[in-house]
Chains A and B, each alone.
Chain A
Amino acid sequence: DAKTTQPNSMESNEEEPVHLPCNHSTISGTDYIHWYRQLPSQGPEYVIHGLTSNVNNRMASLAIAEDRKSSTLILHRATLRDAAVYYCILRDVKAGAQKLVFGQGTRLTINP
C-alpha cells in the first residue's frame, strides 16, 4: 500500500481556515486520495476524496498538487466541532472493496 505522511498535530483558532497537509510521494496513477476524520469517542467518518482535480463539498475542500505527491485538506472556517484526528488515506481504484489503511493521522486542536 502506498504510504502517506502527516504531521502528528496541528492547532488553529475557531472561525479561521485550517490547512492539513499530507505527503504521498509514492502514489500510483490509480490511487484516489481520501480523507476521514475521527471525533473523540466516535468511529471515523468520511470527509472528502479526489483523484487529480481539486474537490469541494459541504465539509471541506481538497487541494491536490499537480504531481499528486501531496494534498491539503482545507477547512474554510473551523469550529470547535472540527477538533478531531484527520486521516489521509490512499485507495487503489483497481482493487475490489478494500480495507482502509490508516496512519497516525493529524490531531487537530481548535482554540475558542
Chain B
Amino acid sequence: DTAVSQTPKYLVTQMGNDKSIKCEQNLGHDTMYWYKQDSKKFLKIMFSYNNKELIINETVPNRFSPKSPDKAHLNLHINSLELGDSAVYFCASSQAWGQGISPLHFGNGTRLTVT
C-alpha cells in the first residue's frame, strides 16, 4: 500500500528517557513534516524537510531533533523526555514544497505518553 507509515503507534516512557519515532513514505514525495497534536487537538507544525534539507524549524526545544537519511524517511528523536511532551505526533508528506497545490498525506500518528 502506498502510504505514510510511522512507528511505533504507541509509546509509553518515563521522564528523562530518550526515544525515537520513525516515519517512511512511499509516495515519492519530496517534502516531509512532523506535526504535534496536543490534548486540545491543536495541530502544530514542528519541522519540515524538503529533499532531505530542513526548511521549517518551529520554536521547538532542541531536545527534539529530526533526521532525514533520505527523502522517503524522516525520523524524530527526543532527548530527556518531559511530561509536557505527551501528545500525538504525526508525520506527513507532500509532493512538493511551496507551490500551494499539493495536499498533505498524514500517517496514523504516534501517541507518546510520558510518565
Determine if chain A interacts with chain B.
Answer: no
Residue numbers of A with Cβ under 8 A of B are none
